[in-house]
Amino acid sequence: MEGWAILLRDHPLMRYRGLPNWPPVWSCTDGHNQHPKGEVGTLKAVFRSDMQPPNRCFLLTSHEGSEYLGCLLFNDEAFCRQVMELLKAHCNRTIAEIGGLDVSQYPLVLVMLLRDHPLMMYNGIRSWPPVWVWRGGNDNTNPKGEVGILWDVALSRVPPMPACYLIMEHLGAEYIGTLLLNDGAFCRLVFDVLLQNRFRTLREIGGIDLSYTL
């Protein structure tokens, strides 16, 4: 799995309550407010927040003669501290350059769960858990999400679309889900992980640590 780049802006832990936190919203602190949006300006300083919980940091930037402050909020406090140290090491670089840092070169990943893996995507949409389609058994309860127990898994033989087929049991009924992925090598890796974890719940499987793949 070597060679995969994970940009800071795309890291799955760069989120707060389900929404991406990069780049932050900018508030003018000095000069003429041009209401900049996105990856603009140059990073001048990073400040730790004194508020509890310690899951945020503040970025001071300069842009076309004015200064702006942005706040990064995180779900993971430890990851927040790591990102803050990374940002401090890259002051005087543009926000766009920092957003494009390949953080796979830095010890930022504490745990990378299967459900959160940046390659668990197909055409820009999260692919885990799959949509479940009833196959037989008890009545169809239209299950959604990480439900049921994985009974079997098969690798798609239809090129060029990498995919795995998951068979799961839930409340006496059998369902099939198609896990579509963009990356063929990652699809094979996921297939092997799923094969080794048959007869476990989908929730347990979604929580498997795949940090060794980064």
pLDDT, position 158:
77
Q: Structure tokens of 126?
A: 């999260």
Print the domain residue range for 183.
114-213
Final residue of a domain: which of 105, 129, 161? 105
Q: What 8-state DSSP symbol labels residue 97?
A: H
Please report, to the nearest 10 degrees, the dihedral formed by the alpha carbons of residues 20, 22, 28, 30 taken in order: 160
| 66-91 pLDDT tens trace | 999 999 999 878 788 889 999 999 99
Q: Do 120 and 87 fall into the same domain?
A: no
Number of domains into which the chain is organized: 2
Secondary structure letter of residue 203 according to DSSP: H
Last residue of a domain, which of 105, 140, 157?
A: 105
Given a cut of 50, is residue 1 above it in pLDDT? no
Closest of 179, 175, 145 to residue 165, by C-alpha: 179
* Separation between Cα atoms, residue 150 and residue 128, nearest integer Å: 14
Note if the pTM is more than 0.85: no
Task: State both tokens at 20.
Answer: 């991406």
Residue 3 counted as domain residue:
no
Same domain, 73 and 164: no
